[in-house]
Amino acid sequence: MPMTMTQKILAKAAGLPEVTAGQLIEAKLSLVLGNDITSPVAINEMGKMKTKTVFDKDKIALVMDHFTPNRDIKSAQGCKKVREFAAVHEISHYYDVGEMGIEHALLPEQGLTVPGDVIIGADSHTCTYGALGAFSTGVGSTDMAAGMATGKAWFKVPSAIRVNLTGFLKKYVSGKDVILHLIGEIGVDGALYQSLEFTGDGVAALSMDDRFTIANMAIEAGAKNGIFPVDEKCEAYLKDHTNRPWEVFTADEDASYEREVTIDLNTLESTVAFPHLPENTHTFDEIGEIAIDQVVIGSCTNGRMQDLRQAAEIMNGKKVAKNVRVIIIPGTQKIYLEALKEGLIETFIKAGAIVSTPTCGPCLGGHMGVLADNEKCVSTTNRNFIGRMGATSSEIYLASPAVAAASALTGKITAP
């Protein structure tokens, strides 16, 4: 029976010759991920189980990234619980202050995610690893606990939407614009419990950083996962980051899709998602003058080197607008160091921005940039729900690093 890329991966993990959309399966897991918010809950749940040890200490990753360095006593207690659990179970991939990064930037960098993997994480943006041809999806902390204990998880096999990409992106138009455009077209529930499978000649024109960004926000369209084919660019990335073997799966030519969406990258423009949903997208021919108070460039969506380079190119030799706070957050320590060596950090600081240690921080209104009443922020993060970054009267405008950097200089939402 013809299968999509996701369905083939799940069939292999379930030990089945084939699977169909809607089928319930039990699949073996390649990796189980948790962070400092979700892991303490999972650890408590695992404590209620008969199984008292993890299934494989090398297939669990615990990343302290949301409220670290700890913002308060509660977050410190949570990290302490995870730290002690990692020590007791000798977890190989435990990342804390000094080693940590934003989890979805860190794991590929550390070579923990490869094509053909089945990955669950107690964080909704675990779908990021689909950029590498893996099936990865977010789950709740209880499912994370079961995964840590058994190495297995139940799934309902998703149907799929084929997203056909053609052409090449213009300068300063990036993967963030691609995924915002797609969400604007199909809506935040347009791919509900479906797989977004990206295909077409346009895939080759996308950098790996673009693909990570696009896969990361598949959940913002309601998708179970987003996934890209494994091509030469992907294999080059993998060879630079991991020694793990991998298996490449490709969709059958006659695989069944619920629908097909085509995006011509040649005609794509810089796109901004207005409050209070990622589907509320606009291009600059529709945007008037909107003054802003803050800019955030970072997160698991846009805290990689391409993002920082693009922002620094626009900000180089210029000054941040008066009364605008600009926060730059490299995705990992390695990215921070590379940005430092390239002079990007100096560019940001001279422009009047601040540079933070890697953290999710402001993305979820945690710390390092919480918004006050009625403030407006241009952010390269992934969600702009009411109160997401602070006060419920504040507004978040989701955009690419290029748009965010250009807006930082003018004090209003600006095209790069």
Q: Residue 329 sits in a domain of what CATH number?
A: 3.30.499.10
In this structure, are 189 and 64 located in the same domain? Answer: yes
At 118 the three-state DSSP class reads strand
Which of residues 263, 298, 321 is at a domain's end? Answer: 263
Q: Is residue 415 part of a domain?
A: no
Helix axes 305-315, 401-410, angle to 10 degrees: 30
In this structure, are 172 and 290 located in the same domain? Answer: no
In this structure, are 284 and 258 located in the same domain? Answer: no
Q: Would you state the pLDDT for residue 290?
A: 96
In this structure, are 151 and 53 located in the same domain? Answer: yes
CA atoms of 59 and 93, how far apart (whole Å): 8
In this structure, are 46 and 184 located in the same domain? Answer: yes
In this structure, are 241 and 332 located in the same domain? Answer: no
- The 3-state secondary structure of 208-250 reads HHHHHHHHHHHHHHCCCEEECCCCHHHHHHHHHHCCCCCCCCC
Whether omega before 282 lies within 30 degrees of 0, making that bond cis, reads no
Q: Would you state the pLDDT for residue 208?
A: 98
Q: Is residue 13 part of a domain?
A: yes
Q: Would you state the pLDDT for residue 100?
A: 87
Which of residues 245, 263, 281 is at a domain's end? Answer: 263
In this structure, are 325 and 356 located in the same domain? Answer: yes
pTM for the full model?
A: 0.96
What contacts 24+ positions apart, CB below 8 Å, involve 11-17?
Answer: 12/116, 12/247, 12/249, 13/118, 13/135
pLDDT in tens, 313-328: 999 999 999 999 999 9
Q: Is residue 124 part of a domain?
A: yes
In this structure, are 37 and 145 located in the same domain? Answer: yes
Q: Would you state the pLDDT for residue 233?
A: 97
**Segment (H or E) for 171:** none
pLDDT in tens, 139-197: 999 999 999 999 999 999 999 999 999 999 999 999 999 999 999 999 999 999 999 99
Structural domain containing residue 73: 5-263
In this structure, are 283 and 180 located in the same domain? Answer: no
- Can you list the residues of the chain whose pLDDT is less than 50? none
Phi, psi of 329 (to 5 degrees): -130, 100
In this structure, are 27 and 113 located in the same domain? Answer: yes
In this structure, are 253 and 330 located in the same domain? Answer: no
Residue 59 token pair: 């297939």
Which of residues 263, 286, 314 is at a domain's end? Answer: 263
In this structure, are 229 and 347 located in the same domain? Answer: no
Helices (H), 256-397: 299-302, 305-315, 333-341, 344-351
